[in-house]
A and B are shown apart, each in its own frame.
Chain A
């Protein structure tokens, strides 16, 4: 319920701020001839990809196709063996944020101080960072839990804390690595709506790794598919469904058509049918 009202609230502000966002809030990502191998295995090979500012990109593919590796490279957590990564509008990569597969919270800290952690590491004084953290916690609808510890929260709540922590630095490039994969379907759709609301309100560039076609189509402006073992891009498809997307979107003909297109394309590229 909270998420729905929040999304509505954000959409009310939506168009204007999104327009502003598209004008310059997001970072453009340019990958050229990118390669990364682990031992003899090329996980990413000779990859070119351009992500314009303010785009919501879903990276789709079976496990082992290098999605996480690619995301870590963009995040600067790993260095490429060849090729280049350019972040236009943020050459030093200071406005990147990353959401991990698990919520990855510090168990000995309250929600408030978990969310404030990135600011704390950046040297922001305590009072200020806590005030910011309170705002973010409100944004993800967790006010009641801000003094609780992670072990007292459900999986979905932990993930929302993780989202709030990622957003507290006002990132202009948000990287998410299958953030909701471990959650039940209901919670997952809830958080998808949440993420969409945050995206519409803040107008950042988003790279979202997932292995769910439905989630990719629901969330993204563009879906990109990677083939296993450095096979590169095998699919690059725009999703032009109107935003904000909601429950009606999930049953609309356009949505079904997109998923059908994806599935057909994937079947062509993965004749073994191993695509999840």
Chain B
């Protein structure tokens, strides 16, 4: 089934709606004579995409490097934190609030602080991306580690498996689907985090990321370029999400674990 090309009924409606909407917008903006710097016509955005393709490509690459690093850091540290919190109730009660606090702290407010600590450049951008994306990984992995099937735990207890063996052979493998759910949510957030990080901390050393491009284009009143950049940024988020989804599906199939119910 998945290998057969999608049927006409599947792809035609969204393509058609996109065409019609674009056309309506193009004509509407033209008839109403809306100034370009307020709202560019779709055709102008497409032209901006084409004209600035080299610069956009470079920025996308820059941002995706930061977002990948942020996501990777989240995955590694998030799992470690979840493992530490799963050790016992006392530790969890003592330290889980910090993880929650980490999520609720307004990132835009503390990003300048991060600049003071890490300076301008990639390191700070990665840090912002990490802070924004780590919580879903901690929360999901932790709930996975804590919700192991009681009957399976009994089975391990019956055969006198120690805490360590039970963790390695039962609780960690059983938490994998939960971790993957967290990773999927984190993937979109990591891209957003990287862009916010670039707003405050980009040092232009590599020509700047997509966030920087947005800022600079706004200052130059090149609204069509802003739209082109925003379009690319959304696309990047989508690509990240799709990639993680692919990894997740591959892992699930390989491990024979079902989708978690959400």
Binding site for B on A (CB under 8 A): 72, 75-77, 96-98, 100-102, 104, 106-108, 117-118, 120-122, 149-152, 169
Contacts and interface: CB of A to CB of B under 8 A. Distances in A.
B28 interface: no
Contacts of B262: none
B89 interface: no
Given A76-B158, A121-B160, A108 B151 contact: no
Given A107-B257, A108-B256, A77 B159 contact: no
Contacts of B151: 100-102, 104
Contacts of B170: 106
A77 B151 CA distance: 10
B95 to A, nearest CB: 29
B147 interface: no
Contact of B258 (A106, A107, A169): A107
SS class, residues of chain B in contact with chain A: helix
B159 A121 contact: yes
Nearest to A72: B154
B256 A149 contact: yes
A151 B156 contact: no
Residue of B156, B176, B256 ringed by the most chain A CB atoms within 10 A: B256
B159 A151 contact: no
B257 A108 contact: yes
B156 A121 contact: yes
Interface string B150-181: 01101111111100010001100100100000
10 contacts: A75-B158, A77-B154, A100-B151, A101-B151, A106-B152, A108-B257, A121-B159, A121-B169, A150-B256, A151-B258
A225 to B, nearest CB: 25
Interface in B59-81: none
Interface residues of B, number: 20
B204 interface: no
Contacts of B161: 121
A121 B165 contact: yes
Contact of B158 (A77, A107, A120): A77
B249 to A, nearest CB: 15
Contacts, number: 50
A100 B161 CA distance: 18
B255 interface: yes
A229 to B, nearest CB: 23
Given A108-B173, A121-B165, A151 B155 contact: no
Given A100-B151, A121-B161, A121-B165, A108 B156 contact: no
Interface string B221-259: 000000000000000000000000000000000011110
B144 to A, nearest CB: 13
B140 to A, nearest CB: 18
Contacts of A96: 158
A150 to B, nearest CB: 7
Contact of A104 (B152, B176, B257): B152
A26 B173 CA distance: 36
Contacts of B159: 117-118, 121-122, 169
Nearest to A98: B158
B257 A77 contact: no
B154 to A, nearest CB: 5
Given A108-B176, A150-B256, 12 more contacts: A72-B154, A75-B158, A77-B157, A77-B158, A104-B151, A104-B155, A108-B173, A108-B256, A121-B156, A122-B160, A151-B258, A152-B256
Contacts of A108: 173, 176, 255-257
A102 to B, nearest CB: 7
A120 B170 CA distance: 13
Contact of A100 (B154, B173, B255, B258): B154
A96 B160 CA distance: 12
Contacts of A98: 154-155, 158
Contacts of A150: 256
Contacts of A121: 156, 159-161, 165, 169
A107 B256 contact: yes
Contacts of B149: 104
A76 B157 CA distance: 9
A163 B203 CA distance: 64
Contacts of B155: 98, 100, 104, 117
A36 B20 CA distance: 71
Nearest to B166: A121
B85 to A, nearest CB: 23
